[in-house]
A and B are shown apart, each in its own frame.
Chain A
Amino acid sequence: MNPAPSVVIFTVLSGLGFGFLALLGVFGSAGMAAFFLWALGYGLAVAGLVASTFHLGNPQRALLAFTQWRTSWLSREAWASVVTLLLFAPQAVSDWLGLEWGRGFGMAGAAMAFVTVYCTSMIYAQIRAVPRWHHWTVPAVFLAYALSGALVMGAVRPYAAWMLVLLGIALALHWHFGKSAFARAGASMESATGLGRIGAVSVFEQPHTGGNYLMREMIFVVGRKHADRVRMIAMVCSVMLPVLALMFIPGVAAVIVAVAVHLLGALAQRWLFFAEAEHVVGLYYGAH
């Protein structure tokens, strides 16, 4: 699949933002610090959501995306994110101005924040035609990123390190199952054309000499060449280096370093998530 920058940035920033908002919702903060922290959380989440509209052909109609929550994960995600952002608002005001409204809104918002991230992940995991995505490890990875990123940002040291380890495990599992996903889905050139019943199929001639939307969007093969290297970068940057930074660097410096490399790793992982995902339509073109 085509790793469009808008979707890579959308999923990474909104995941991190919602995770961080959830952390603030549960534990809170006070005074001017609260103002800046809440603003940071909102900024990340909203920036991600805004980025997601960049790849729309007709963004002026985006409000219609709220109508189909019964069937569509994208629609559910739209609702979940708006509800989450609204739930956090009174909590943020209470924290900032010291209004002592309890943590009810924050708790509810935190729960909804993870529902939102889950909905985001299901937009991809629901798609059977991309076998690598159609797996429970996809929501696991998205949720683990949101939670560990938030803990790193919040400098909740021991928990952050443990959560990063869990993220590492989720990533390893996701990549492990991803390797055989296409084969397990059972689609081949023979089943795609149905010609397997008479023999072995190969491409004789392509249907068009130029490119088309399908090839640009779904038969993106450039990234696969470097997949192993990007996997390594993702694991080292989003998991290992932040753990080391949190363990061995004292003070705020650790958090800044850890957040920066973690974010870099998350971007690498998400780029690869799209770039190496094979869509079954590639079979018609002799690729996948």
Chain B
Amino acid sequence: MTGLPERTEKKLGLVIDLDTCVGCHACVTACKGWNDQGYGVPLSDQNPYGADPSGTFLNRVHSYAVQLVDAAAQIINFPRSCLHCEDAPCVTVCPTGASYKRAEDGIVLVNEDACIGCGLCAWACPYGARELDQAAGVMKKCTLCVDRIYNEALPEEDREPACVRTCPTGARHFGDFADPESKVSRLTAEREGFALMPEMGTKPVNRYLPPRKKDRPEEASLLAPLLDIKATGLAGWLDRVLGKI
């Protein structure tokens, strides 16, 4: 059913730290790798070695230049994937019931066996989190690695989304936002984590942590105490003569 659950027991999601992310795209690659052999059809590529390659990805890393009001511009790397919204418009528009939000943990999934590939859910998502696989004709989206996080065949440290597991800088965190004591809830509270495009009324679960304020360069040069020394003797004479030429 594409009705949304009243409430979900857990609210699983990601916290993405925009302060820490270095834009290495490791999460993009890990996601592509895992989802080539995990849940549903593999993420296909079209013309991968040709002049105009393109393919299905569930996670994309953008880079933005942000011009601060009173300081130099900053580069912010910005991973973008499904936010597992509480009021997910992608779910309610689906005519077949293929798109659904799980009542137990809030993960938004696509049942590929029921998907007709109409693309309406991708239109309804404000965040570009859904891509229609061009080879299989079904909708693909982040599953929050539902086939890892509960998978007892994996060692415990691997039971988190592939992107989180792989991030070399620890910029991605996975957890339950319904539990105020979880790591993701605490990080969000401490660092004023925010939701994307709240004006779209989707109530995203994922949160982004803003970049921290950077240290300002000192106003005066670090060499200031040395620069003020009056030269004497030969150096002083040279200084005076050279100054006159």
Interface residues of A (CB under 8 A from B): 1, 55-59, 61-62, 64-68, 70-75, 78, 123, 126-130, 185-187, 189, 191-195, 197-208, 210-214, 217-218, 279-281, 284-285
B127–A281 contact, CB under 8 A?
yes
Which segment of B48-56, B163-171, B219-227, B231-239 sits at the interface?
A: B48-56
B210–A213 contact, CB under 8 A?
no
B126–A187 contact, CB under 8 A?
yes
Known: A64-B96, A192-B196, A280-B126. A57 touches B1 (CB 8 A): no
Q: Bound state CA distance, A73 and B219, in angstroms? A: 61
Interface status of B200 (Cβ within 8 A of chain A): yes
**Chain A hits for B161, CB < 8 A:** none
Known: A68-B96, A128-B89, A129-B126. A56 touches B3 (CB 8 A): no
Within 89-123 of B, Cβ neighbours of A (below 8 Å) are at: 89, 91-98, 114-120, 122-123
A194–B208 contact, CB under 8 A?
yes
A207–B80 contact, CB under 8 A?
yes
Known: A192-B197, A201-B64. A213 touches B211 (CB 8 A): no
**Chain A hits for B68, CB < 8 A:** 198-199
Chain B contact residue count (CB 8 A cutoff): 69
Known: A70-B3, A127-B93, A127-B123. A56 touches B128 (CB 8 A): no
Which segment of B134-142, B149-157, B183-191 sits at the interface?
A: B134-142
Interface status of B37 (Cβ within 8 A of chain A): no
Q: Bound state CA distance, A202 and B74, in angstroms? A: 11
Interface hub of A73, A128, A214 (most chain B Cβ within 10 A): A214
Selected from A56, A67, A71, A285, the residue in CB contact (under 8 A) with B92 is A71
Known: A57-B136, A194-B210. A187 touches B117 (CB 8 A): no
A195–B76 contact, CB under 8 A?
yes
- 23 residue pairs bridging A and B, Cβ less than 8 Å apart: A55-B118, A56-B117, A61-B115, A65-B96, A66-B95, A68-B2, A71-B92, A72-B93, A72-B94, A74-B93, A127-B89, A127-B124, A129-B124, A192-B127, A193-B64, A195-B211, A202-B66, A208-B60, A211-B54, A214-B131, A280-B126, A281-B127, A285-B62
B93–A57 contact, CB under 8 A?
no
B66–A199 contact, CB under 8 A?
yes
Interface residues of B (CB under 8 A from A): 1-3, 18, 28, 52-57, 60-69, 73-76, 78, 80, 89, 91-98, 114-120, 122-128, 131-134, 136-139, 194-201, 208, 210-211
In whole Å, how far is A200's beta carbon from the nearest beta carbon of chain B?
Answer: 5
In whole Å, how far is A82's beta carbon from the nearest beta carbon of chain B?
Answer: 13
A212–B137 contact, CB under 8 A?
no
**Chain A hits for B55, CB < 8 A:** 212
In whole Å, how far is A51's beta carbon from the nearest beta carbon of chain B?
Answer: 13
**Chain A hits for B119, CB < 8 A:** 55, 57, 217
**Chain A hits for B198, CB < 8 A:** 191
B199–A199 contact, CB under 8 A?
no
**Chain B hits for A214, CB < 8 A:** 122, 128, 131
**Chain A hits for B208, CB < 8 A:** 194
B64–A194 contact, CB under 8 A?
no
In whole Å, how far is B109's beta carbon from the nearest beta carbon of chain A?
Answer: 15
Closest residue to B207 on the A side, CB-wise? Answer: A194
A200–B138 contact, CB under 8 A?
no
**Chain B hits for A204, CB < 8 A:** 63-65, 75
